[in-house]
Structure 1
Amino acid sequence: MKEFWIYTLLRVVLFFASLGIVVGVWFLIAGRVPLLWAVVIAFVMSGLGSYFLLNGPREALARRVQTRAEAMTSKIEEMRAKEDAEDEARRDA
């Protein structure tokens, strides 16, 4: 779960950095900042930025999720095989 929290924290930091940049530039240009538009633009900027800047942490998170899913799948298959063997033993008895 460490990878999840790292990626999430980086996304939040990237969003607030984008928001700060948007608000700062807008304030310098217009003097008045429409907060809703600043948030929307910052959201789009951080989304695009995370696609390029956070590729490494995102891939680490994906690898971790895949590893856990494979472990869970093998455990379920193991339990099914054991249950099938027990059912076969009961039928033979």
Structure 2
Amino acid sequence: MKAFWTYTFARLALFGVTFGVVWLVASIWVEWGNLTSLLILLISLVLSSVISIFALAGLREQLAQNVQDRAARMSQRIEESRNAEDID
């Protein structure tokens, strides 16, 4: 579960930093409005997603390994439960 929260926090932090940078850059050249806010949000979302593909690859691999290990443990428990029922 720790890997999930670490990866989630890293994604949110990366989005926050990206949003801040895009907002600062946009505030220099663009007049502020509702559509501008939405555009800045969408640009930040796309940029942070692309950056996270490369920057957070290690955390994503740890999370995937954690999920795979949990799934294997659950499958093993289910199989042990089935075998115990067959013996009875």
TM-score range, shorter chain: over 0.9
- Give the one of 52, 55, 58 matched to 1:56: 58
Taking only the aligned residue pairs, the percentage that are identical comes to 41
Residue 12 of structure 2: aligned partner: 12
**Highest RCO, 1 vs 2 (Cα 8 Å, sep ≥ 6):** 2
Q: Which runs of 4+ in 1 moved over 2 A?
A: 30-33
1:74-93 correspondence to structure 2 within 5 Å = 74-86=76-88
RMSD, matched Cα: 1.0
Count of matched residue positions in the alignment of Structure 1 and Structure 2: 86
Q: Which residue identity does 1:76 align to in structure 2? A: I
What is the aligned partner in structure 1 of residue 39 from structure 2? 37
2:72 to 59, 67, 70: 70
- Which amino acid is the alignment partner of residue 76 of structure 2? S
Q: 5+ residue gaps in structure 2?
A: none
Deviations along 1:5-60, whole A, 9 cap, x unmatched? 00000000000111011111111122436110000000001110110100000000
What is the TM-score of this pair, normalised by structure 2? Answer: 0.93
Give, as a single letter, the amino acid of the residue that structure 1 aligns with 2:13: V
- State the distance in 1 between where 2:12 and 2:51 align: 12
> Structure 2: how far apart are the matches of 1:18 and 1:37?
13
